[in-house]
Amino acid sequence: MNAQKKVAFYTLGCKLNFSETSTIARSFQNEGFDRVEFEEKADIYVINTCSVTDNADKRFKSIVKNALKKNEDAFLIAIGCYAQLKPEELANVEGVDLVLGATEKFKVTDYINDLSKNDLGEVHSCEIGEADFYVGSYSFGDRTRAFLKVQDGCDYKCTYCTIPLARGISRSDTLENVLKNAEEISKKNIKEIVLTGVNIGDYGKGEFGNKKHEHTFYELVQALDEVDGIHRLRISSIEPNLLKDETIDFVSKSKTFVPHFHIPLQSGSDTLLKLMKRRYLRQVYTDRVTSIKEKMPNACIGVDVIVGFPGETDELFLETYNYLNELNISYLHVFTYSERPNTEAEHMEGVVPANVRKKRSKMLRGLSVKKRRAFYESQLNSEQTVLFESENKEGYIQGFTENYVKVKTPWNPSLVNTIHAVKLTEIDEDGLVRFDWMS
């Protein structure tokens, strides 16, 4: 029966979700299902949800509607963070047939013996305390980079965040299994691996089901650097207090780790960092950026920042803005604060009006454009290597240098998933960089 059934996937949210979607998709293919693109007609649509922001929640309903337009009889499955946090809410969305929580999503094929539409979505969701085991994942085939999951869950108690409620305690893959997955990826002609997790700097905790660290993130980085066949290794988001100088120093001399760091800041105000219950103050962040730039002057540094957190006065916002304006970073990911149920911040005083949050977000996004432009300009006339992506975007192929400068050149399918040496020459009107080929 399954050989004729088609399944499609839609992923909301982070790189970790992409790695898990890819692994779950392979479980369907192993059962004889044919994977198709989400834009195509399918018998089953699986939506991997996110609940970091209010906007991610709202997008879910429109994605369901789009799936049903392609096949009104399709069986719709919701998995992921939103499915764990609010399973009944998703089950009540018209057209949703099955909702699986944090532990159940990896056994999704066990729940689909009958693909008949349900009047009300069926829910299988655990208590989050039961999400104490680890399931390894990695993506491939979706893009030229692979996302390799090394860690899941979080033990931090940031006052705005629902992720611990959605994913459970911090736990890690075994070093042996991470290396095995990396070797498998390297044999699939994938040129770049991005390490991902909820709190990857906490790697090693819960590696064998206990709370202590069997290995450290630094030891993970050292071991991965020795895996044959990997051209590039990239560290995704890592907490500033967990990015140690030893890791920065190692990356600066590494064979495969690239000079690109994404480090959440969230606020440039110590007052707000304390209200957020972040585990560092601003000086720690400054020290990390300084250390990176001293060892790798051309490194790209991305920053997460939240605007409109309760208690953020005009003065405290400007403190963040001015701090980031002066800091030697490359771009920002700006998140407009939204109240999340069952978080401490939901009940805090000093609520910032929505229009003020919007205005501040716009200011920081403008600063991000300025920062990225300045970083790109600093890289002009330098020689870099570019890994080209697989999409034809309006007659151009795009790619990234090791330090995350996005480049473009006229579409040529033979460039897909290949690495070439180039010299960066000019910034185009769309903000991307043109280049000359190196002989």
In this model, does residue 100 exceed pLDDT 50?
A: yes
- Half-sphere exposure at residue 211, Cβ-oriented, CA atoms within 13 angstroms: 3
Residue-wise pLDDT for 239-252, tens only, equals 999 999 999 999 99
How large is the average pLDDT for residues 330-359? 96
pLDDT value, residue 128: 64
Sign of CA dihedral 105, 111, 113, 114: negative
How large is the average pLDDT for residues 269-282? 98
Q: In the numeric block, which tokens belong to residue 97?
A: 């047939």
Q: In the numeric block, which tokens belong to residue 69?
A: 């337009």
How large is the average pLDDT for residues 253-277? 97
pLDDT value, residue 131: 63
pLDDT value, residue 132: 66
In this model, does residue 432 exceed pLDDT 50?
A: yes
pLDDT value, residue 57: 63
Q: In the numeric block, which tokens belong to residue 119?
A: 């009047």
Contacts of 257 by beta carbon, 8 Å cutoff, 6+ apart: 221, 224, 225, 232, 233, 234, 235, 250, 251
Predicted TM-score (pTM) of the model is: 0.91
Residue-wise pLDDT for 364-418, tens only, equals 999 999 999 999 999 999 999 999 999 999 999 999 999 999 999 999 999 999 9
